[in-house]
Amino acid sequence: MKTLIIRTDKLGDFYQTLPYLNSIKRSYGKENLDLLISENIFDHFAEKSYLYNNIYAFPKKGIIKKIVLIIKLRKNIYDNVLVLDGKDRSLIFSLFLRSIRKIILYEKKKINFLFNIFFSNKNIIIQKDKKITDVDLYNKMLSKMNINNKPIDFNFINYTSLKNSILPNKLSEKFKKYTLIHLDERWFSKFYIKEFSDINPSVESFLSFMINFFNNHKQNIVITTGLIKLPFINLLCDKIFTPINSNFFEYNYNSYKAILILKSTFNELEIITMNSRNLITCHTALTFIAAAFNINLIDIIDENKDNEYNYQRHTSHIKKYNKLYRKEFSELFKEILLKIEQ
């Protein structure tokens, strides 16, 4: 059953899809599975050929590029075309592809007339609902294809040793036991969503957290950063950490060490995450990497958005899931310390 999966949104959204992509691959065979994903994440997944047969990048801009891609894909007649992001661009693009049927996941707010005008009864339309978990939603889709999702499908990417990460060799050999803190713009409402409660760590409160962590949990710490250059990261580098080179900084406390890493790639973040004992993050794409490798996850979210958005629907399958609400870091770090797994 030759199948094309269309998902043209962000990295974290595509990670959510991967367990169900694995179910399809297991049932139909890798040779029958093609992907169409955002060009922003194409290079990252182009290296993971074990997931699919062919992979295509959806152009962010340029009608000519989109037409060329349609012509290329129309050489295939797919048994199934799955539109999983519900984006208008993906829905419209799928209309020009040749397939026996299309399975569409969509949100009610989208341009509904497309379904009435262009999609015949042979296609399947499944409406997204914030009250329904991702597991239930995707299993509903899989049932239309006579496919069952299995626990093994949630191990959706291959394991890679920490020796293949960007950590210098002399450090990676010692980092057998560490907690990862992904310290990106989501920690600061000013750089993320202004309506969110601000975590606002200070240099003093962050240092106090690390010392408490080392004393109580006897582990090392790895700190990774996002794409935005944050003033707080600069302060940590200036006041606490000592440079190893332009991208690596270290802080030593007795026999333990904290490593601060700048400018990590997606692939490097994957490797560092899958080898950690704990992950502390503000609900990023790494949340789903931790889930895939049964890493103890401390997920910091906004309480008001939790009620509105229902994060549970994305995380219901995660076994080691600890949800904490955003607040001033001087208080939050005490709650984090209680959730750390030895």
Of 79-93, 117-131, 208-222, least confident by mean pLDDT is 117-131
Greater model confidence, 113 or 145: 145
Model pLDDT, residue 110: 58
Range from 23-27, 38-42, 163-167 carrying the lowest mean pLDDT: 163-167
Residue 257 predicted with pLDDT over 70: yes
State how far the alpha carbon of 57 is from the alpha carbons of 40, 79, 101, in Å: 8, 21, 22
In angstroms, the CA 311 to CA 285 distance is 13
**What fold characterizes domain 3-154?**
Rossmann fold (3.40.50)
- CA-CA distance, 250 to 266, in Å (whole number)? 21
Q: Helix crossing, 203-217 with 329-339: angle to 10°?
A: 20
pLDDT category, 1, cuts 50, 70, 90? confident
Is the Cα torsion angle 136, 22, 299, 306 positive or negative in sign?
negative
Domain 162-339 has what CATH class? alpha beta
Q: Round to the nearest angstrom and report the end-to-end CA distance of the chain.
A: 45
The beta-strand segments (E) located in the chain are 3-7, 33-38, 54-58, 78-83, 99-106, 124-127, 178-183, 220-225, 242-243, 248-253, 256-261, 278-281, 296-301, 321-325
Residue 114, pLDDT score: 59
pLDDT the model gives residue 117: 57
Q: What is the mean pLDDT of residues 32-45?
A: 96
Give the percent of the chain with pLDDT over 90: 70
pLDDT confidence of residue 193: 79
Q: How many Cβ atoms from other residues are within 10 Å of residue 335's Cβ?
A: 14
Same CATH fold assignment for domains 3-154 and 162-339 = yes
* pTM reported for the whole predicted model: 0.91
Amino acid 308: pLDDT: 63
45 token code pair: 């997944």
Amino acid at 5: I
Q: Quick: pLDDT tens for 197-240.
A: 899 899 999 999 999 999 999 999 999 999 888 999 999 999 99
DSSP codes, 84-125: -S--HHHHHHHTTS-EEEEEEEE-TTS-THHHHHH--TTSEE
Residue 97, Cα to own-chain centre: how many angstroms? 28
What is the reported pLDDT for 326? 94
pLDDT at residue 246 is higher than 90: no
Q: How far is CA 18 from CA 84, 132, 171, in A?
A: 11, 18, 31
* More confidently predicted of 54 and 126: 54
Question: Residue 168's pLDDT is what?
Answer: 72
Distance CA 288, CA 323 (A): 14
Domain map (residue ranges) of the chain:
3-154, 162-339
pLDDT bracket for residue 163 (50, 70, 90) = confident
Specify the pLDDT at position 39.
Answer: 95
pLDDT band at 125 (very low <50, low <70, confident <90, very high): confident
Which one of 52-66, 113-127, 182-196 scores highest in mean pLDDT?
A: 52-66
Determine the pLDDT at residue 195.
85
User: Quick one: how far is CA 165 from the chain centroid?
Assistant: 18
Helix axis angle for 266-274 and 39-46, nearest 10°, is 60
Region 153-157: mean pLDDT is 92
